Structure 1
Amino acid sequence: MWRLLIGELYPEVEFLEPAKEALFWRIEEALGMPVPWELVELLRETNGVWNEYGDAVVWSAERIIEDNLAMRSEPDYRELYAPFDNLMFFGDSDMGPQFAYVHTGYGPGIISWDHETDERRLVVVSLRDYLVRRFTQGSDWFR
């Protein structure tokens, strides 16, 4: 399903081997939160998605673990930013913002996070909407 959608949106994409199943449990264990089902399904089809500029539209399962743990443990980040404990970062943009799942009162949503201002803004409510906007509306859709 995800390969088909991404291929239609971005025919130049190169797909990777699927993520190993054990990585999903490592993400949950390392971050203390469940991996959204739609992200699990995408990673089961391809372990990450990149655009033509090399931006990691969706990070690999390994990077999700590494970057989220680094952001949560970096001493400078603790002084500069609000906590990241309720976020699961999974992608970034050539324009600087990073994207993360956050659980809202209505279910999970996807926010953009600006490292310069620490602004966290709900931009879409599903991975499908995120991918459609990333591949069809360019880099400015989240502003």
Structure 2
Amino acid sequence: MWTELIGRLYGDAEFAAPAADEAIDRILPLGGVPDDLRELLRQTDGVRAEYGSGLVWSVQEIIEGNAEFRRNPAFAELYAPFDRLLFMADNGGGDQFAYVQARDDRPGGIVVWDHETDEREPVAVSLRDYLERRAASEGDDWYR
């Protein structure tokens, strides 16, 4: 389902081999894996599109990116905490997309984190919504 949807939305999409559940489970300590993201990763371990930008990161990129945001001492001084965010994509220019964990510990939609201002703004209610909105707009800053 996910690869077909993305293939229709993004003519230049590049798919990776599917990720195994054991690999996807390595994301769990970061706050869980939303069901829609798990299903996408089971079909393709990340998607590149739009000149190589990270439309959806691979399992390894999710783990490494989130570890960097949480453990970097310079980030701790510059930005609000990232512990309720699960970064999973980027725009190729520094801004990142993340699931936000709602107060009841369920996914609360997807936000964009602005790397210059530390603002976190809602951009989509689900992974499908994020993919469709991003595809329907032109440019790297479609979410503004």
TM-score (norm 2): 0.92
Identity of aligned residues (%): 53
- How far did 1:71 drift? 0.9
* Structure-1 separation of matches of 2:68 and 2:103: 27
Counterpart for residue 91 of structure 2: 93
Could you tell which deviates more after superposition, 7-16 or 126-135? 7-16
Question: Could you tell me which of 66, 72, 84 is aligned with 1:74?
Answer: 72
* Structure-1 separation of matches of 2:59 and 2:110: 17
Mapping of residues 1-143 of structure 1, within 5 Å = 1-29=1-29, 31=30, 33-105=31-103, 107-138=107-138, 139-143=140-144
What's the C-alpha RMSD, in Å, of the aligned pairs?
A: 1.4
- How far did 1:136 drift? 2.2
**Stretches of 4+ aligned residues off by more than 3 angstroms:** none
One-letter code aligned to 1:142: Y
* Structure-1 separation of matches of 2:129 and 2:85: 18
Q: Which consecutive residues of structure 2, in runs of 5 or more, have no partner in the other structure?
A: none
**Residue pair 2:91, 2:141 contacting (<8 A) in 1 also:** no
TM-score (norm 1): 0.92
- How far did 1:43 drift? 0.4
One-letter code aligned to 1:126: S
